Chain A
Amino acid sequence: MGCGMGKSENQMKKSIRAALLIQRWYRQYVARLEMRRRCTWNIFQSIEYAGEQDQIKLYNFFGYLMDHFTPARNLISHIFRTNECCRDTEWESYFCYKSIQVPDSYPGPHLTFPMTFSGVSKLVEAFKHKQQLHARYVLQLLGETCRLLRILPNINCVSICHNKDITICGDLHGHLEDLLLIFYKNGLPSSEKPYVFNGDFVDRGKSSLEILLILFGFLMVYPNDVHINRGNHEDHIVNLRYGFTKEVLGKYRVHGKKILKLLQKIFSGLPLATVIDHKVLIVHGGISDMTDLNMISRVDRHKVKEAFSTVLRVFYNHYIKKILLAGFDQSYGEPKKSDSESDPESCETADEQEWKQVSDEKGSGSQLLFLETFNFKIVDMLWSDPMPQSGCIPNEVRGGGCYWGPDVTEKVLGRHNLHLLIRSHECKQEGYEFCHNLQVLTIFSASNYYEVGSNRGAYIRMGSDLVPHFSQYQASRTSRELTLRQSVSWTERSALQALRKQLFVHKSVLISAFQEFDPHNTGIISLSHWANATERVLNLALPWRVLRPQLVSSTHFGMVDYKQWIRELSIPEPKSEVRLAHILETMYKNHSNLETIFRIIDTDHSGLISFEEFRQTWKLLSSHLKTEISDESIADLAKSIDFNKDGSIDINEFMEAFRLVDLTAHT
């Protein structure tokens, strides 16, 4: 009670108060960072899903083409034809690697078959050092994989020995550094270290092929301990759009086409799901209320061609149903009337003849209907997402599969006596996330998926008690992990850039939307109206009010000068006349679909399409989009780019010429 005690007690109190203040102050800062991070995340997700919605537009376009039966339809009809070389002997000779010589100067790894553990680990090392495997070995490895897949079942059944753990990985999307990180932390696959890889190995990242080669290598060495599930990106049509096709053709200029064709076969031969100890179901996307594992395990998945492309789903919906229900009722060169029936044309295309044959053979098309239902079930397994509400509704965001609720989880798990559903397909900030009362677990293994610092990757380890344990990581190019602050800023900048691009491509629609709020044409509207219009035009569910300060810097008293704002968004366009401005804008808006279409048209993967094909595609696209694009403006477009003198267009050059300039050049 004396003065001495009082003084140190006082000091203590002061320290505590100081600590309290610092803690409060610092936590506030961290919370604000978290808010920014969450907003950034929303941006990326919205744009990603909007991109997938774009895919629906693409499929609608194909449907439109099918309906119109114009000669240009032949441009894409080949994707609906069955594989040309389907007989084994033909196939063997087409994919034969034996004639391909490996030169002495080749610095990369040499493989011997049958594959051994040391062979695969050599491969892993080589890829770690950025070497490229020679095409001969690629084809050989893939050929062996194809053979192996023929004998694997649709659903892998695994049992865990009581002293071993099984490791389960989610989406990798070409991120080799993440796979290497997992192997580093967890060990390479072996009979002591079983693994399940749950799909989406390719697209978006730069090393999709290397990942496939490694996984297939391990699969061949340990077929009972390494299990691979198909993902929705193991689909050649999706690959045309999301980068895998480009990657392979870029890395293997001579043999790329063969490799892609072989991969097409392999993808459709991949197993669809894995079940552990009859209790844990692992599938890439998820389930629907129609999921029946017994039915799925019975069908011969290899016979189902092109089953997983939702393009085909559109095709089936349009075309097959007509065959089954009403016979041929289209005629060339004229738009089809939906309820009309006309006599079948005497000159049918090869496609029509084939389908007629199939339906005749299989009798009343019931076989086709069966295949169709099977297709839908598979699409559900690879494309669906869980939702918090009960029920099962079509997944319109992705254009395939469904959204399923906790009641469906209960039902399907109950039906098959399962305890847990492990799936992937959706990026999660922490690399994993539970939902549906801990009955559904999402695992995602591609870290920094949207941008450096955007999210962690994770993998699961599970023992015979079937309790999942998680390991998280984040691959980074620098030796140090980014701090929270750095990763948020970096991701945010990237997200805002992506968002500004979106705003830019919609600028004329935005201006009209703004003008609706500005009847006296003052050029100024309120922030509220700005947010309203932007949300409507972009159709991205984003917290616009929160984002507003980052996107609109010049405001006075809560008002925006929208014309100036649009100008600020603009980037210098290539020298073009007013006539071209419109086609350019359409081009920007649809550029990823356009690229996909071009690549489909380029059947021999040469990277070139003829000017005539180019022109036809543009005309079709414009009529489908109900915009006017005249022959003159297409000709102008051709002139403004240096086309090859032989009248063909290099797709890559064309896309490069219109690539949006990096907007950070301005900031």
Chain B
Amino acid sequence: MAENKQSAEVVVSDVHKKIRAAFEVFDYELNNTVDAREISTIICSLGCFPSQADIHDFIAEVEEDQTGYVHLDKFLPAMTKVLLENKFPPIPEDRVLQAFEVLDKDNKGYLEAEELTKYLTQEGEVFNQKEMDEMLFAFSDPEKNVIHYKDLICQLTFDTGQ
């Protein structure tokens, strides 16, 4: 039992280090605070896949009363919990594929830019114009104006895999 406790401590200490390292990147004034708007980037960089609602709730929990800032003292325990409990687990590739296939009603193997735009900017936690434009710009086939989602999934997984 003692051994388990020790290794659990090591795990927690490692998690703390990772969180601190990511937090540091945005701590411009070197006073252990970051702008609340950077929180989503930090959470995602630690391998989590939160929804906008999740992020909103998390920030509400850790933000320093209306200042727009988050201090490490509150962030560290909250983020540690998230990581240890795997609150925002990664989305497996096949589920993403399934999602695209749901939208691709005619089973074409790709989605028209217009189609995808309609779904992503009107349903769910909508993309703003800038987000949509960037996605199309980066990943659509410029001639046919379509997105081959299987390729997209491969590319993104490759990019972020380490």
Contacts and interface: CB of A to CB of B under 8 A. Distances in A.
Interface of A: 14-35, 38-39, 42, 388-389, 483-485, 528, 541, 543, 545-546, 549
Interface in B1-34: 17-18, 21-22, 24-26, 28-30
B154 interface: no
B78 interface: no
B124 A19 contact: yes
B129 interface: no
A35 B25 contact: yes
CB-based closest 6 A-B pairs: A31-B44, A19-B124, A545-B21, A18-B99, A20-B124, A35-B45
B127 interface: yes
Considering residues B41, B96, B135, which has the most beta carbons from chain A within 10 angstroms of its beta carbon? Answer: B41
Nearest to A485: B138
Contacts, number: 114
Contacts of B103: 15, 18-19, 22
A24 B159 contact: no
The main secondary structure of chain A at its interface with chain B is: helix
B13 to A, nearest CB: 10
Considering residues A18, A29, A30, which has the most beta carbons from chain B within 10 angstroms of its beta carbon? Answer: A18
Interface string B27-70: 01110000000001111110011111000000000000000000
B25 A546 contact: yes
Contacts of B30: 541
Given A18-B100, A20-B125, A29-B159, A484 B91 contact: no
B49 A24 contact: yes
A14 B102 contact: yes
B41 A31 contact: yes
Contact of B44 (A16, A19, A27, A484): A27
B96 A23 contact: no
Contact of B25 (A27, A31, A32, A38): A38
B156 A29 contact: yes
A54 B153 CA distance: 46
Number of chain B interface residues as a range: 35 or more
Contacts of B51: 20, 23-24
17 contacts: A18-B102, A19-B99, A22-B103, A22-B119, A23-B52, A26-B135, A26-B156, A29-B160, A31-B41, A31-B44, A38-B25, A38-B41, A39-B25, A388-B28, A483-B134, A543-B22, A546-B22
Given A22-B120, A483-B138, A545-B21, A38 B26 contact: yes
B44 A23 contact: no
A38 B41 CA distance: 10
A545 B46 CA distance: 13
Nearest to B27: A543
A107 to B, nearest CB: 39
A14 B120 CA distance: 13
B21 A546 contact: yes
A22 B147 CA distance: 13
Given A35-B22, A39-B25, A484-B134, A23 B125 contact: yes
A549 B160 CA distance: 13
B120 to A, nearest CB: 6
Contacts of B52: 23, 27
Contacts of A28: 44, 48-49, 160
Contact of B120 (A23, A32, A528, A545): A23
Nearest to B134: A484
B99 A388 contact: no
B162 interface: yes
A25 B120 contact: no
Nearest to B142: A480
A22 B137 contact: no
Given A22-B120, A27-B131, A29-B160, 9 more contacts: A15-B103, A19-B99, A19-B123, A20-B124, A20-B125, A31-B43, A34-B41, A35-B42, A545-B21
B71 to A, nearest CB: 15
Contacts of B100: 18, 22
A485 B40 CA distance: 18
Nearest to B122: A19
A19 to B, nearest CB: 4
Contact of A22 (B48, B99, B159, B160): B99
A22 B138 contact: no
